Amino acid sequence: MRRPPPPNRPRGLVKPELRPQVTTLWDYPSQHYGEGMQGDQRFVGATPSYVIWNVIERFTKRGDLVVDPFCGSGTTLDVAKDTGREARGFDIAPYREDIEKADARRLPLETSSVDLVFMDPPYGDHIEYSKEKDCIGKLSAYDPGFYKAMHRAIRESVRVLRPGGVMALYVCDYFEKKKGFAPVGFQLFVSMAESLAMLDVVSVVRHNRTLEMGNYRKAADEGGFMLRGFNYLFLGRKPEATAGRAR
């Protein structure tokens, strides 16, 4: 039986139970599952480990190879270890020793050798992810160059996937008051759909405490815009008939 939340703690911030999700609406108010840590929640833009856990549990089995081309603080590596999977994580600016230095557009992996790719890429230049000049995170969500770079990263992930392997892309749309709305998710979905058979689209509800802060809410009310309340999780499978054809 689920324990009630402690006094004075918002119900929306209760850590979810560790169990597979069966709908396309996921609610993840916590960075880590269980008592331990996966990755480092101090890392800006860290992926909720429960999202990765659900993808790994659903689409892989023990011993399968999981790859993260934008590995960040290593959350995917930790979840793979917890679940008995093999894993390799890459980043243009490795955060820790077990993350390999590589550009997501040029992975040092054999074609058709990976069972699952999990990708949580940057989606704007509002955060400094690294000082590397080729970092995709230096490209603005309003710059066509960002989508060209991400298209190459997606195609590279398709290349390394085995036929029947799955790619999961976790991303959010972007908004700046002066520039307006940037539909990042829809554009990356199109890139995935060019090479993969799309399996589903999941909406992951975000419970960021800053969304409840008075200054953020006031700015949204007065400016007539909306704060980002969810992330997309796009899921696609590499068709058997297109093995090795990704450009």
pLDDT in tens, 146-174: 999 999 999 999 999 999 999 999 999 98
Residue 52's closest CA among 38, 69, 40? Answer: 38
75 pLDDT exceeds 70? yes
User: Which pair of tokens denotes residue 241?
Assistant: 């008939």
Torsion angle defined by CA atoms of residues 45, 46, 51 and 52, in that order, rounded to the nearest 10 degrees: 130
By mean pLDDT, which of 49-58, 124-133, 184-193, 220-229 is the weakest?
Answer: 124-133
Task: Tell me which range, 32-36, 102-106, 140-144, 177-181, is most confidently predicted by mean pLDDT.
Answer: 102-106
pLDDT in tens, 207-223: 766 556 557 667 766 66
Phi-psi sector, 112: left (phi>0), alpha (psi -120 to 50), beta: left
User: Which pair of tokens denotes residue 226?
Assistant: 């909306």
Predicted pLDDT of residue 213:
59
pTM metric for this prediction: 0.84
Residue 231's closest CA among 120, 85, 128? Answer: 120
Q: Please tell me the CATH code under which domain 16-239 is placed.
A: 3.40.50.150
| Domain ranges (residues) in the chain | 16-239
**Cβ-count burial 113-124 (b if 16+ within 10 Å, e if not):** ebbbbbbbbbbb
- Asked if residues 47 and 75 have their Cβ atoms less than 8 Å apart, the reply is yes
192 pLDDT exceeds 90? yes
pLDDT in tens, 45-55: 678 889 999 99
Taking the CB of residue 165, how many other CB atoms lie within 10 A of it?
25
Predicted pLDDT of residue 197:
97
Predicted pLDDT of residue 66:
98
- Percentage of the chain modeled with pLDDT above 70: 77
